[in-house]
Structure 1
Amino acid sequence: MISYLKGTVLEKGLTYIILENGGIGYKVFATPEILEASVGDTVAVYTYHKVAEDGQALFAVPDFATLQFFEQLITVSGVGPKVALAILSSGRVDTIKQAIANQDASVFTRISGVGTKTAERIILELKNKVGALEAVSGTAASGDVFDALLSLGYNQKEVREALKRVNATLPSQEQLKEALKILGKA
């Protein structure tokens, strides 16, 4: 199984990149954060390798924690790798986990390929796995700040990096100010 790849982006499609490693090009379906890479960039991704009768496919996420959550998502009946990738592409992992903890099905029903029954199944099957701590309001504040920074034109990668350096216990406005200071120096 292929679990990690590091290489050069050869080509890009709408939902995938072709990643060259050791003279071999791997077609990797990826999250928007990974798709932001330009042709010629070196990227490192964690992958889920799906092997089925009709073929193989690689699905990439930016870090190991996201891969672990991706693997939890695909344990839910009706959620395959493409739907799991669409869920991860809809927002931050902590925001998605918070929606599960708060039993907010609307976060999932907005995603193509996820109906009401599947959304309810995701919540039912994963609510005990994501932990009660995901429901704290600090996570919601970070999600709001994340969305605000995206609306200001920053890309997901730089916003994630900035928010890692911001104190999550601060109110949303203070988190936003801190993140803008960090992004201004970048």
Structure 2
Amino acid sequence: MISYLKGAILYKTLDYIILLTNGIGYKVSLPENLNKQLREGQDGVEVHCSLMIRNEETLELYGFASPESLGMFTMLNTVSGIGPKAALAICSLGNPEDIKKAIMERNTNFFRGIKGLGEKKIQTILLSLTGRVGEFDKNRGGSGDEALDALVALGFSRGQVKEALDRIDSSISDSEKRIKEALKLLGGRK
């Protein structure tokens, strides 16, 4: 899994950058507020990344300025009906503390104006995350279990993933192997 990159911006659009690292150009989608701070040709750019798998064949990288921002993105992705693009748009609204505060205060106005995010989805976000923002403070970047976070990011429910990971031989500690074994158990259930 790619979780951190540092390099020079080879190319920049409104939605993503191509980050040149050791001769390889990585396409990294960024929150709008971070993207605006960067310029083409800038060197020493550091991003904390989330690698998402879409349609079982397309890999997409999402980059953030801090582990806290990445953690908020990861948490938003666990909400039913909120995909990485919507989570990225929400992360563009402010820093993780601003988003956390809006969730805790059930501030629906904070989330308005995001394309594709209607009142119903905003309510879903608030209901799903109100009790979990304290968990975000403890973890700051996910659950601490790379396999769990990766499988949840693929669209499986946290409960299904925990159940599958509990059934895997405890001697398997490598995250990649745990993910493969869990995927065998989860099969097509999403």
| TM-score of the aligned structures, taking structure 2 as reference length | 0.66
Aligned match of 2:81 in 75, 78, 83?
Answer: 78
Higher helix share: 1
Q: Give per-residue Cα distances to partners, 1:11-57, cap 9 Å, x unaligned.
A: 00111000000110001000234322112212000011011225111
Q: Does 1:61 align with 2:64?
A: yes
Q: Does 1:46 align with 2:43?
A: no
* Runs of 4+ that moved beyond 2 A: none
**1:1-16 alignment, distance < 5 Å:** 1-16=1-16
Distance 2:114 2:108 in 1: 11
Alignment-mate amino acid for residue 49 of structure 1: L
Distance 2:81 2:114 in 1: 14
Question: What percent of counterpart residues are identical?
Answer: 41
Which is worse superposed, 110-119 or 71-80?
A: 110-119
| Bigger relative contact order (CA 8 A; separation at least 6) | 2
Unpaired runs of at least 5, structure 2: 138-190
Distance 1:26 1:67 in 2: 17
Q: Does 1:37 align with 2:38?
A: yes
Distance 1:40 1:79 in 2: 33
Alignment-mate amino acid for residue 5 of structure 1: L
Distance 1:18 1:34 in 2: 14
Aligned match of 2:100 in 94, 97, 102?
Answer: 97
Distance 1:115 1:74 in 2: 16
Q: Is the 8 A contact 1:101 1:131 kept in 2?
A: no
Which is worse superposed, 123-132 or 21-30?
A: 123-132
Q: Is the 8 A contact 2:50 2:63 kept in 1?
A: yes
Matching residue of 1:25 = 25
Aligned length: 133
Q: How many Å apart are 1:7 and its aligned residue?
A: 0.6
Computed over aligned residues only, the root mean square deviation of the Cα atoms, in angstroms, reads 1.7
Q: Is the 8 A contact 2:7 2:45 kept in 1?
A: yes
Distance 1:109 1:34 in 2: 20
Q: Give per-residue Cα distances to partners, 1:120-175, cap 9 Å, x unaligned.
A: 1111111111139x9xxxxxxxxxxxxxxxxxxxxxxxxxxxxxxxxxxxxxxxxx
Matching residue of 1:120 = 123
Q: Is the 8 A contact 1:33 1:62 kept in 2?
A: no
Alignment-mate amino acid for residue 131 of structure 1: G
Q: Is the 8 A contact 1:34 1:62 kept in 2?
A: yes
| TM-score of the aligned structures, taking structure 1 as reference length | 0.67
Distance 2:54 2:91 in 1: 22
